[in-house]
Amino acid sequence: MIPMLRTLLLVISVAAASLTAAGGAHAQSAADIVAGTDRVRNPDQPFRSTVTFTEYVGGKERDHNTLVVFSKLDPATRQFRNLVQYMAPPRDAGKRVLLDGRSLWFFDPASKVSVRISPQQRLIGQAAIGDVLTVNLAVDYTATIVGTEDIEDSTRQPRHCWHLALKAANDQAVYGRIELWVEQGSFDPIKGKFYSDSGRMLKILYYGSFAERLGGTRPTQAIIIDAVDSSLATVASFGDYGFQDIPESWFQRDYLPRLTFQ
Amino acid sequence: MTARHLPASIWVLGLLALAHATPSALADENNDLNLIPGAVGTPAPSEPAPQTSPAGGTPQRIYLENAFTGNLQRHGLAVAFPPPNPRAWQERLFLDARTEWRLGSRLGFTFSDRLNLGAEKGQPVPDDENVFNDFREGYLGWQPVDGAYLDIGRINLKSGVALGNNPTDFFKTRAVVEPLSADPSVLREDRLGTLMVRGQYIWSGGSVTAAFAPKLYQPSALDAERDPPSIDPLFDRTNAQNRLLLKSSIDFAEDLSPEFLVYRQGSETRFGANLTESIGHSLVVYGEWAGGWRHDLIHEALLYGRRTGTIPSSAPDPLPSDQGKAFRNEATIGASYTTESRITFNLEYHYNQAGFSHQDWHNWFAAGAGPSSSLWYIRSYAADQQEPVSRHSIFLRADWTDAFVPDLDLTGFVNIDLYDGSGFAQVTADYHLSDNWTVGGLAAGAFGGKRSDFGSLPTAASLMVHINRYF
């Protein structure tokens, strides 16, 4: 059975690739599209942003969290390094997370200890660490074009999109695979579906509220819907953007207790 | 039928479906929009996203907690516990504050303190022991140049990558005061800092730290009273010896940044190392080791008891022990694994070469037939040093955020002595009523036979309820 499926998938992939090469709509390669939408989400200079999370349970607003995220591209890997500080709620204030390559550390000012954690660990609400930190999907996933589709964005406006299938290319990828819809022309990310290694759909994500930030049009809102329990949703609002010089030493584990900023 | 026998028309249909999704498929895709809560607003693109706290600065953490703990005593102990008995109940109300003030662009002051109001069975109210303050940290930090830091004052300097036991956490000894939970991660929170001078340099490829803590007091007895009762900072616990720590973490390769430590306390030197490795996106493995020339736990405890006057110098040793120093190792090897449902498990093996061997346990219970309060003193000393009593043990912890319902956090751990299978287990549940209020409870118990490590403890079980208000 499995060899047959493999053969089928291989044939379909090859055939789809042939169609892609022949069709004008697919003039862009899947990798180019993912890299393009990465550029929409992430500036290429070091920057800082504030992410405010609002959790909804059964449609009702419940919890609020605020993080400040510092991100800087590592030219060697083309992946971002991130430093995160929790600002609210009060019980979590001062906690910090560092992502540098394969290393992910969590610092709690109460215990004053940095503990190494895995990307799978939940950060806030329905948001895993990989949802919050600045990540270039093109580095961690290999992509193929599934097709072109007209879907509605979070405000129910039609968008003409590439439908991409992303598969984890290394063990730093948070998800086993991702389905991604990217608007043709603008490369705006519109929608994503995120799956575990076992193939279970974990969450649906809608990007929205595109606005001029840090020299480009970027999404300032992400709506994350729990695919396992659809009564749970988290809305992440990105703001307070600013380019910022971030020294290399900030991405050392021992810097976590030292983080202070204006 | 095999794949290559499928009719060509099937392939065509399949490829068409891939290239252009059908209207019904797209309708299904758009149905996901119905899952977005109606209350979700769309911020105006021209406006910055809303914020619930200032964008800059170092946030402080201040909260008020009330906790009531009840303990169930065990009767008919294999080795009689010397008076006073463990408290039957305790009520505590405390204000806990951790904050940092910026005094300039390169100067800051860090403060951490807990002010307690307490009452317990058998203690008169009001009494000068009803109020006590735990001054955990207070130090001035200066950054003379980028990457370089100099701190002076009372500092909680911690080391180690493991969860259940940290052999390289050299400043943990005698520093834990009045813990509300036996969870090792909570013990680290209820801990006094040490008066020291600390220098640190952090660069893009690593860091190096040097700390010196001077001897300012004579060692005090384990059960020494606070003097004065309410506000004694207990420097006799943290600064009774000259202590020096050097440690460095270097990036040798991607994801390979071991930490090495050298620690000198009095006339003893210990070495240590920490290493972690991430495997996939769910698994982290880690190891922690410390070793040095020292006495075994039994002899070290008896020496300390005699030195501080708790054990008469003329009293004979209650147990045979190794009278000389030897190079003894302490290590923790563990792994954490997070499931798809976001439960994180930590499994660790703890080794303490200075701890009780099987023969030591046999001797301890055999000696308990006669009168000797110093038997329990040895175990109290180990707890005060934050050191495992037994030579081999296993630690398993589970941590589940949003367990069953949103905002319910469950944590449980069990510590098992591998010699006799006895253990200590604890489960905590915390429910966040809002951003500012949390209620919770804790249940803990020791299990095992009467003549076992944990089965011989005087407290069989504990229950605690608490409510927190965060500011």
What is the DSSP secondary structure assignment for residue B9, as one 8-state letter? H
pLDDT at A23 over 80: no
Residue among B51, B56, B401 whose CB faces A261 most closely: B56
The answer to whether the CB atoms of B49 and A252 lie below 8 A apart is: no
For the record, the structure tokens of A191 come out as 């929608």
Q: What is the number of helices (H) and of strands (E) in chain A?
A: 4, 15
Among the partner-chain residues A118, A239, A258, the one whose CB lies closest to the CB of B336 is A118
pLDDT at B1 > cutoff 60? no
B14 neighbourhood in chain A, CB within 8 Å: 12
Facing A147 at nearest CB: one of B20, B50, B276: B20
- Chain B interface disruption, residue of A54, A81, A103, most B CBs within 10 A: A103
Residue A6, pLDDT > 80, answer no
What residues of chain A lie within 8 A of the CB of B54, using their CB?
87
What percent of chain A lies above the pLDDT cut of 90? Answer: 63
Q: B406 and A59 in contact by Cβ < 8 A?
A: no
Q: Give pLDDT, residue B122.
A: 81
Residues B306-319: tens digit of each pLDDT: 999 999 998 889 99
Quick check: B231 pLDDT over 80?
yes
pLDDT of B26:
65
More confident residue, A1 or A134: A134
Task: Find all residues with CB under 8 Å of B173, minimum gap 6, and list them.
Answer: B384, B385, B386, B387
Across A207-218, average pLDDT: 93
Which residues of B fall within a CB distance of 8 Å from A85? 59
- The whole-angstrom distance between residue B258's C-alpha and the CA centroid of its chain comes to 21
ipTM reported for the complex surpasses 0.90: no
Whether residue A111 and residue B185 make contact (CB cut-off 8 A), yes or no, is: yes
Please tell me the distance in Å from B360's CA to the nearest CA on chain A.
33
| Chosen from A111, A181, A229 to mutate, greatest number of chain B CBs within 10 A | A111
Contact B49 A221 (CB under 8 A): yes
The b/e string for B184-206 (b: 16+ C-beta within 10 A; e otherwise) is: bbbbbbbbbbbbbebebbbeeeb
Give the pLDDT confidence score for residue B426 in this predicted structure. 98
Q: How confident is the model at residue B54 (pLDDT cuts 50, 70, 90)?
A: very low
C-beta neighbour count of A212 within 10 angstroms? 12
Structural domain of residue B413, as residue ranges? 58-470
Helix (H, G, I), strand (E, B) or coil at A256: helix
Burial class from Cβ neighbours inside 10 Å (0-12, 13-18, 19+) for residue B343 reads: middle
Q: At what angle do helices B374-384 and B358-367 cross, to 10 degrees?
A: 140
Match domain A2-257 to its CATH number in 1.10.540.10, 1.10.275.10, 3.10.20.30, 2.50.20.10: 2.50.20.10
For residue A133, give every residue at least 6 positions away whose Cβ sits within 8 Å of its Cβ, in sequence order, or none: A69, A71, A80, A82, A84, A97, A99
- Residue at B21 is within a domain: no
Classify residue B25: in a domain, yes or no: no
Cβ distance A4 to B283 less than 8 Å, yes or no, reads no
At B7 the pLDDT is 44
Residues of B in contact with A255 (CB under 8 A): 202, 207
Structural domain includes residue B155: yes
- Residue B382 falls inside a structural domain: yes
Whether B15 shows a pLDDT value over 50: the answer reads no
- Banded pLDDT at A7 (limits 50, 70, 90): very low
Q: Which residue of B has its CA nearest to A157?
A: B30
The whole-number pLDDT of residue B13 equals 38
Domain total in chain B: 1
Number of helices (H) and strands (E) in chain B: give both, helices first: 7, 18
Q: What is the structure's pLDDT at B121?
A: 86
- Containing B438, the helix (H) or strand (E) segment is strand B437-447
Interface contact A239-B50, CB threshold 8 A? yes
Domain CATH for B318? 2.40.160.10
Query: How high is the mean pLDDT of chain A?
Result: 85
Higher pLDDT, B263 or B372: B263
Task: Determine whether the interchain pair B59/A238 forms a contact, defined as Cβ–Cβ distance below 8 Å.
Answer: no
Asked whether residue B387 carries a pLDDT value surpassing 90, the answer given is yes
B63 vs A223: CB contact, 8 Å cut-off?
no
- Domain assignment present for B312: yes
**B20 domain-assigned:** no
Q: What is the CA radius of gyration of chain A?
A: 19
Cβ neighbours for B176, distance < 8 A, ≥ 6 positions apart: B187, B190, B191, B192, B384, B386
pLDDT (tens digit per residue) in B189-199: 889 999 999 99
| Mean pLDDT of all residues belonging to chain B | 89
Q: Is the pLDDT of residue A246 over 70?
A: yes
Residue B288 within any structural domain of the chain:
yes
What residue segments make up the domains of chain A, in order of their start?
A: 2-257
Q: How many A×B Cβ pairs under 8 Å?
A: 276
Q: From the CA of A114, how many Å to the nearest CA of chain B?
A: 7
Describe the crossing of helices A2-22 and B8-19 by its angle, rounded to 10 degrees: 60
**Which pLDDT band, with edges at 50, 70 and 90, does B23 fall under?**
low
Q: Give the lowest-confidence range in A150-159, B30-39, B322-331, B382-391.
A: B30-39
B40, B61, B207: residue with CB nearest A94:
B61
Residue B46 lies in a domain: no
Cα separation values, A169 from A34, A139, A142, A205, B227, Å: 14, 8, 6, 21, 62
Residues of A in contact with B470 (CB under 8 A): 89-91
Is there a contact between A154 and A223 (Cβ–Cβ < 8 Å)?
A: yes
Of the listed ranges A106-115, B105-114, B204-213, the one predicted with least confidence: A106-115
Distance from CA of B145 to the nearest CA of A (A): 13
Residue B149 or A18, more confident: B149
pLDDT value for B22:
55
The shortest C-alpha distance from B208 to chain A (Å) reads: 9
Specify the length of chain A in residues. 262
